């Protein structure tokens, strides 16, 4: 199967392990993706509340580019939940509202572009693997089952709500990711907080609110003795992983729940190495969990932090713990 792929900003940087592992999984499953050329940021989530037309025009530009570049496929796939949601909503709103469609296309015309809503089908990578490849085909590629690993499926709030194209089974209780993880041989725990918000950008706006929201996800995972939370969203992975240590300091707790991408778990089951999959670059130590399936990560020295000058206006970021493990 061939499709256009929208990389998105985070997949190039903090979520690079997601992108790398996804490409390996695609190769194994016989999927062929071609990146949209000259793509731009999807605008994240807040911009639409500031300027609705401008925010959707930014997203519409990516849809218009995909429409122009489509060759032998009308499928446009995103792996980031925020990107998937924005692309889906813009296409949906332009289809449903002729006046809004005209406003967005008027903005696009300044760049010599035009988008015909519905001309591309916006999909998420999980949707493609589950509904086009299928569970049986995935199972055929499993050479190293994840037997003994207790995992919790964590969707986050954006991929299933609102599900404007009805790609998933249920906005509150989806099951696609759980079924996929079972095919990989893992022991899947019924994780009740699977569609809870990870706090989004609240980590940069109100740390107290963000830490409380992260705790609402991590605490139940600890109580359920989950080894790894498995996600499909770069923002979810970043917040729960990178800010877990800061959350622990805030509440005086010592929770440790690693969070990996579903494509990394697939890669392990397909026989790829942790280094190939970018595993070991997380903030929360995943080694104890991987030891259950006979995997290890190589320790490397903790990166030295640059001293921040008094004039540096940047926001505080989480500290890298001493068990940090790096890959290539």
**Mean pLDDT along residues 193-214:** 94
Average pLDDT of the chain to the nearest whole number: 90
Dist. CA 91–CA 103, nearest whole Å: 13
**Among the listed residues 193, 191, 195, the one whose alpha carbon sits nearest the alpha carbon of residue 152:** 191
Cα 189 to Cα 167, 255, 294, 309: the distances in Å are 23, 18, 20, 46
Cα 10 to Cα 78, 194, 303: the distances in Å are 12, 22, 21
Dist. CA 107–CA 95, nearest whole Å: 16
The tens digit of pLDDT for each residue in 107-155 reads 999 999 999 999 999 999 999 999 999 999 999 999 999 999 999 999 9
| Global confidence as pTM | 0.89
The tens digit of pLDDT for each residue in 86-98 reads 999 999 999 999 9
Which domains, from first to last, does the chain contain?
2-125 (1.20.1050.140), 141-291 (3.40.50.11810)
The answer, yes or no, to whether residue 320 has pLDDT greater than 70, is no
H/E element holding 259?
strand 259-261
Handedness of CA 180, 290, 270, 72 (dihedral sign): positive
């Amino acid at each position: 199967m061939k499709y256009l792929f929208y990389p998105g900003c985070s997949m190039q940087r903090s979520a690079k392990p997601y992108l790398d592992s996804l490409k390996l999984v695609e190769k194994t499953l016989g999927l062929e993706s071609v990146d949209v050329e000259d793509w731009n940021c999807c605008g994240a989530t807040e911009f639409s509340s500031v300027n609705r037309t401008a925010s959707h025009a930014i997203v519409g530009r990516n849809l218009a580019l995909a429409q122009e570049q489509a060759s032998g496929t009308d499928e446009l796939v995103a792996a980031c939940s925020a990107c998937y949601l924005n692309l889906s909503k813009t296409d949906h709103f332009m289809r449903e509202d002729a006046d809004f469609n005209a406003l967005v296309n008027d903005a696009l015309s300044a760049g010599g572009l035009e988008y015909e809503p519905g001309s591309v089908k916006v999909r998420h990578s999980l949707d493609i693997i589950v509904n086009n490849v299928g569970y049986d085909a995935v199972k055929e590629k499993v050479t190293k089952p994840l037997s003994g690993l207790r995992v919790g499926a964590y969707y986050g709030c954006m991929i299933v709500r609102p599900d404007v194209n009805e790609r998933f089974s249920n906005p509150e209780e989806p099951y696609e990711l759980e079924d996929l993880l079972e095919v990989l041989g893992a022991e899947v725990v019924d994780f009740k907080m699977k569609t809870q918000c990870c706090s989004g950008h609240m980590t940069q706006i109100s740390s107290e609110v963000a830490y409380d929201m992260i705790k609402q996800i991590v605490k139940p995972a600890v109580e359920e003795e989950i080894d790894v939370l498995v996600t499909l969203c770069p923002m979810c992975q970043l917040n729960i992983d990178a800010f877990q240590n800061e959350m622990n300091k805030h509440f005086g707790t010592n929770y440790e729940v690693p969070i990996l991408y579903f494509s990394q778990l697939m890669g392990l089951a397909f026989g790829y190495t942790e280094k190939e999959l970018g595993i070991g670059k997380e903030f929360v130590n995943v080694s104890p969990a991987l030891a259950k399936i006979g995997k290890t990560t190589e320790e490397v020295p903790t990166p030295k932090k640059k001293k921040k000058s008094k004039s540096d206006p940047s926001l505080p970021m989480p500290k890298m713990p001493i068990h940090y493990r790096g890959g290539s």
